[in-house]
Structure 1
């Protein structure tokens, strides 16, 4: 079910789309070699969604974006965070 707040707020929709655009752009900058080492991450679809949001924004369906944000993004974040080095200990 789609979040009514999301649909009713141009600001919320724009923010979500902008952040996904940034994520997709960063994924695009990751080397193909690294992407191939981590095939569990759907690099291509994240990049493709970024391209749609940036270049074909007039065709974006809010319901589809919301379903991706709630259904795909949580798993994607876990997969990407697993690749990050640990933060330095501040103690």
Structure 2
């Protein structure tokens, strides 16, 4: 997908933006102890981007969303999924689904 496809597909835009909002809100809910134990993840950056998205009442800058996605999404995803807490929660969820 290129920016042209992204900017013309409101369903994809909504999904991407909503996921950033959820990630940012979740990062705010984490304890300071947890965030300090995982300093290689930009928790405040994720929370701040969420705030920007939530408070842009008159239109979100799609180019900004696109640029953040292109520059950071893969790195953020790999760092989050490498966390022991993520692996533990995923393992627990999978075992509950199989019972």
Give, in angstroms, the shift of residue 59 of structure 1: 5.3
**Structure 1: tracts of 5 or more residues without a match:** none
TM-score, length basis structure 1: 0.85
Aligned length: 91
Relative contact order (alpha carbons < 8 A, sep ≥ 6): 1 or 2 greater? 1
Q: How far apart, in 1, do the equivalents of 2:68 and 2:78 lie?
A: 15
1:37 aligns with 2:74: no
**Structure 2: tracts of 5 or more residues without a match:** none
Instruction: State the match for 2:76 in structure 1.
Output: 76
Which 4+ runs in 1 deviate beyond 3 A? Answer: 88-91
Give, in angstroms, the shift of residue 57 of structure 1: 4.2
Deviates more, 1:8-17 or 1:55-64: 55-64
